[in-house]
Amino acid sequence: MTKALQACYATLFILLLNFPVAAVAKGAVNFSDMEHEINLQPWRTYQKLLGLQSTAESYDELTYLWWLVRKAQAENLIYFYDEFNQTVKQANSLINGNTPPEIQTRLLFFQGLIERRNGQFSDAIVTFTEALKLANNAKLSSLYIFAKQELAYTQTLTEVYTSSLLDMQAAYIEAFALQDQYLIATINETYGAIYGYLDDFEQSIAYYQRALDGYQNLQYPAHIAEALYGLASTYRYWKKYDIAIKYFKKYQQQIGYTPNSNISFFSAYGLGMTLAEKGDCEQALSVIKQALALKGVKDYNAELYKRQASCLISFSQLAAAEQALASADAIFAEMPELRGTTWQIELLKIKAELAHAHGQHESAYELLKQYNEQYIQLLIKNSTQRLLEVRANQEGERKTVSEDLQRKSEKIAQLQQERMQTINAQHANFNVFVAVIALIVLLVIVAQYRSNRKMQLLTIKDPLSGLYNRRYIFDYLNDAVAHGNADKMQLSIILIDIDDFKKINDRHGHPVGDEVIRKVADVGREVFRQEDIFGRIGGEEFLCVLPRTEIGAAEQIAERFLTLINQSTLVKWAHEPITVSIGIAALSSQCHDINQLYINADQALYQAKGLGKNQINVFNSPA
């Protein structure tokens, strides 16, 4: 009897062990909450997801979509790009009108990555922009910042540095407000890449190091590897080849977190490029050959072919060098967005070297001349932008110091005046002593009131325009919403941005730009009502808060403002008109707080810019 019971227990135990794990997991695994787990252990989590594959199709549609999203996320981190592309394609085929915005945004984000890796930079920019808008409308803050960051990086690859830096600055501010260490680390990493492409290597290294520190605190292996690779690449661009090689080797050690052998392409690429640029062509050709044999990224392969051609020329293997250049040419022909960039025009320089090696000196001279002309134009374009930004920062600092000194001088003068008044009062006729004492008290009270009034104005007024400053505007909005019912109160805001303000500064100088800001402020004083709160919140950006005003009335007021701007002569000697773009938003049942209210107005302004500028756009709340 005992043996029979033991046999029954053993059979039951075996049956329990063989009970389908997925049947339990189906109800236990919440795929939407796996973000941190995937970043922490991408390969182990991927295996876990694959273990659930046999029963994945039995999930409800939403759960199955989340499973596909997390599978794609893990595949991206472990460099299983073919599988990643297939998973994203499969998930996209299941998207419909009921699919949650978070899943749609993530899939758009993944699609943008695929397009960028294929060299379809224009398509990637469109896709990331679509993800940005969807995340913004759905109030998905983290995804919104990720999309803005990837959009900025993609713009950088086509050497559109101004837009990318502006987008990155906005993303950083938003990430810092959320206090999300992962977001901040990824933004620091992207900043490192952008400054590297701008040849500002010290800044690039600093940002990559911050990203590395952040990822190490989070213990995210894939991201640590990316930061190490960024440091290695920047030291390579900086021509500090020995340090670059050290970091490429650290990267090789770090990528042990994934079994995918194709990931070694990136370390082979970095080492091959570094050795070639260092002049160690014999070793470089061997490593480049290994890299090209692996499954790499198209534009990276173009760079490898260029370095291969240069090394082959140094060894007088001219036919092989021509073949390598032809391969690079073919890749750039498939990637029109890279035409005219530093990467593509370098082909002219290498072709000149090849022509010279063939003894075709005139042809070599013409090719080198073309290269120098195009490269100098790029340097002027990028360096001028950086110089203007540096000058603007310095001028701002000088202006701040100057204003501070002016305020202190005024305070000293005022105190001296008060002292003289007191001395004069003390030498007055004794017969009117009581009256003099009363007068002194009155003067002190008036002086104190004036002093307090001036100090108050300094804390709430913008010194250039004379309008309220950003702090006062947003404090006012906070108080208004805090003491009212956001669903029932009528409150609208008008966000105004001077179109092409940078061009005004570039063409006419900063004093003229300052005058334009003052003129726009004057127009606002004329148009807006006494109860409206009008202020300057940024360089060329203004905000007007309209209490007890519904959005239709706000639009009419904005129309009067735009009409008066168009009728005004803001810069007398400029041939081009000065215009503004306007975005309008209001509190509603869908918009309860000032942060979302400002985001809505900013989105409306962005659309006004995109539709041609010099116009008004009203934010329409989603149904």
Residues 529, 364: Cα–Cα separation, whole Å = 69
Assess contact for 52 and 25: CB atoms under 8 A. Answer: yes
Does position 585 have pLDDT exceeding 90, yes or no? yes
Across 190-204, 278-292, 382-396, least confident range: 382-396
pLDDT above 60: residue 25: no
CA distance linking residue 351 with residue 471, whole number of Å = 57
Q: Give the pLDDT of residue 381.
A: 64
C-alpha–C-alpha distance, residues 116 and 112, integer Å? 6
Residue in this structure with the two tokens 């940005």, named with its chain if needed: 132
Predicted confidence (pLDDT) per residue in 349-406, tens digit: 888 888 888 888 888 888 888 888 787 777 666 555 554 554 344 334 334 433 544 5
- Fold designation for 470-618: Alpha-Beta Plaits (3.30.70)
Mind listing the pLDDT tens digit for each residue in 94-138?
A: 999 899 999 999 999 899 999 988 878 889 889 988 988 998 898
pLDDT at 279 over 50: yes
Q: Which long-range contacts (CB under 8 A, 24 or more apart) does 556-559 make?
A: 557/494, 557/527, 557/528, 557/529, 558/494, 558/582, 558/584, 558/616, 559/616
Confidence of residue 494 (pLDDT cuts 50, 70, 90): very high
Nearest CA among 464, 475, 498, 440 for reference residue 614: 498
Task: Compute the distance between CA of residue 586 and CA of residue 496 in angstroms, rounded to an integer.
Answer: 15
Pairing verdict, β 533-536 and 541-547: antiparallel
Q: Given this model, what pLDDT does residue 487 score? A: 58
Give the mean pLDDT of 318-328. Answer: 88
pLDDT at 443: 66
Task: Give the residue from 471, 466, 453 showing the smallest Cα distance to 410.
Answer: 453
The Cα 460–Cα 537 span in angstroms is 11
- In SS3 terms, 515-584 reads as HHHHHHHHHHHHHCCCCCEEEECCCCEEEEEEECCCHHHHHHHHHHHHHHHHHCCCCCCCCCCCCEEEEE
User: What pLDDT is attached to residue 407?
Assistant: 58
User: Long-range contacts for 109-114 (Cβ within 8 Å, ≥24 apart)?
Assistant: 109/143, 109/146, 109/147, 109/150, 110/72, 110/73, 110/76, 110/84, 112/147, 112/150, 112/154, 113/76, 113/150, 114/84, 114/85, 114/88
Q: Which residue has the tokens 């209210």?
A: 597
The reported pLDDT for the residue numbered 187 is: 82
Alpha-carbon distance values, 556 to 559, 584, 609 (Å): 5, 11, 19
- Window from 235-249, 373-387, 517-531 with minimum mean pLDDT: 373-387
Helices (H) and strands (E) in the chain, counts: 26, 5
607/486: higher pLDDT? 607
538 φ/ψ angles, rounded to the nearest 5 degrees: -165, -170
Tokens of 33: 């909450």
pLDDT for residue 524 is more than 80: yes
Higher pLDDT, 453 or 556: 556
Could you tell me the two tokens for 49?
């997801």
Give the pairing type, strands 580-586 and 616-618.
parallel
Query: Which residues is 152 bridged to in the sheet?
Result: none
Pick from 348, 396, 410, 392: which is nearest to 374 by CA? 348
Q: Rounded to an integer, what distance in angstroms lies between the CA atom of residue 349 and that of residue 355?
A: 10
Higher per-residue confidence, 184 vs 468? 468
Task: Give the SS3 label for residue 617.
Answer: strand
Tokens of 608: 């006004």
What pLDDT is recorded for position 385?
Answer: 53
- The more confident residue out of 6 and 508 is 508
Quote the radius of gyration of the chain (alpha carbons, Å): 32
At 32, which amino acid appears?
Answer: S
pLDDT at 30: 81
Q: What is the largest CA-CA distance in the chain?
A: 127
Predicted pLDDT of residue 295 = 73
pLDDT higher than threshold 90 for residue 468:
yes
Q: How confident is the model at residue 277 (pLDDT cuts 50, 70, 90)?
A: confident
Against a cut of 0.75, is the pTM above it? no
